[in-house]
Structure 1
Amino acid sequence: MDLRHWPLYGLRLRTPRLELRLPGPELLDELASVAANGVHDPDRMPFSVAWTDGKPDEVARAVFQHLLGTVAGWSVRDWTLSLAVLHEGEVVGRQDLMGRDFGVRREAETGSWLGLPHQGRGFGTEMRAAALHLAFAGLGARYAVSAAMTDNPRSLGVSRRLGYVDDGLDTGVVRGAPVTLRRLRLDRARWEERRNVDVTVEGLDACRAEFGV
């Protein structure tokens, strides 16, 4: 692939078990299929946006279109880096890193999901650690923030293991009902104290300006 016009396709994050990268059409199709095969118990909704509601083909299409939309809508003032997560060459989930006026605020937000067969193996912590390394070590972030429903112990557990601290509560609306979200925040000093996953970054210099830094 010629990366002159969109060098973000050359960005790679690697941990001991995972590789994270912006998916081209083939990988994006795999990612959509992972989502279509399920990412949570259908009786509960762990996300603040109910994007998994719908038939499998509808979920797959929504994932495909959403990720293409993050590329089409990218600007240095408002960006979403939506990376496919691969284990031994197989797509297992998605890790997002988002910035709003990042060049000024130096604050990034994370979000992620894993396919059901790949949960419970520590991948969630490892892929979030990769995104945090990009944010802090690669882009010079001062803070990383996240949020999860108060009844989503897996997501909250990942945040706790990586050093996030409570940052208050929010109320959201999911499936027409109110839900309580716990906000979490991680500053640079605490990230440096708690980091314990080896992460390497490739291809950042070519696309650093795209993040507003």
Structure 2
Amino acid sequence: MDLARIWPPFGLEITAAHTGEEISLRVMRDEDIAVLNDATPTDIFGSDIPEHAFGWLFDKANSPAQFRWSHRVQMSPAHWSLDFVVVQHNKVIGSVDMRATDFSATKSIETGSWIYHRLQGRGIGTLVRHAIAELGFNHFGAERLTTAWACSNKASAAVSAKLGYHVTADITVESLGPDNHTAPGVRAELSRSNYHRPAKLQCEVHGVTPELNSLLGI
């Protein structure tokens, strides 16, 4: 049985290619969650762990599987989270979260993503963000994408600026590092009209079905 028939998000896939790199994004299945569960702080941030490292990487008491499964259970037009893995050469290399509350009214999607440290600096993270924008703007009908990062995370700031994001607010970023500390951060927004889409970007989206749209309130 094709599980996408009974759980429409499983049929969603994005492929994107630009400047010699090609990736795909698919909604996480259980085997993908198992792969991501093994990620370490060094895998994502390298040997010099920054102060903005994700707190969940150090929290072995709470299961990432429970976190991801709860998103499936709670998914509704009122609030949803689509959790993707990033795949290159048939290997999982990162993850993406796309979240919305009352999307039919707000037309706004919050996003977050990461890829393994060994692959950073090649434009793959930027390509991931373009894939998200393609899905959000051209297939879900979003008017804006939002994201946030700690002020010390210069890489996220640079990639966001490249796509056309502008900072909208100063915030406090929580749950960072092994001690779950807080740090100054910013929230940024990308509007459809400000999105800098590369002319040679190749992107395809499959699996946006009436059943998926109904589940998400699109």
Q: TM-score category by the smaller chain?
A: 0.7 to 0.9
> In the TM superposition, what are the counterparts of 1:46-85 in structure 2 within 5 Å?
46=52, 50-54=55-59, 58=60, 62-85=63-86
Q: 1:22-58 deviations in whole A, cap 9, x for unaligned? A: 12222222222345763125642425x611114xxx3
For normalisation by structure 1, the TM-score amounts to 0.88
Partner of 1:18: 23
Partner of 1:29: 34
| Residue identity in the other structure for 2:30 | P
Change in CA separation of 1:207 and 1:178 when aligned onto 2, cut-off 3 Å: closer
> In the TM superposition, what are the counterparts of 1:1-213 in structure 2 within 5 Å?
1-16=2-17, 17-35=22-40, 38-41=43-46, 43-46=49-52, 50-54=55-59, 58=60, 62-174=63-175, 175=179, 177-191=181-195, 194-196=196-198, 197-205=201-209, 206-213=211-218
Q: 2:77 is paired with a residue of what secondary structure?
A: coil
Alpha-carbon separation, structure 2, partners of 1:181 and 1:160: 15
What's the % identity of the aligned pairs? 26
Q: List alignment gaps of at least 5 residues for structure 2.
A: none
Change in CA separation of 1:209 and 1:100 when aligned onto 2, cut-off 3 Å: same
Alpha-carbon separation, structure 1, partners of 2:165 and 2:111: 12
| Residue identity in the other structure for 1:93 | G
Q: 2:113 is paired with a residue of what secondary structure?
A: strand
Alpha-carbon separation, structure 2, partners of 1:158 and 1:97: 17
Q: 1:209 is paired with a residue of what secondary structure?
A: helix
Which portions of structure 1, spanning 4 or more consecutive aligned residues, are displaced by more than 3 angstroms?
34-37, 172-178
Alpha-carbon separation, structure 1, partners of 2:64 and 2:162: 28
Deviation at 1:72, TM superposition (A): 1.7
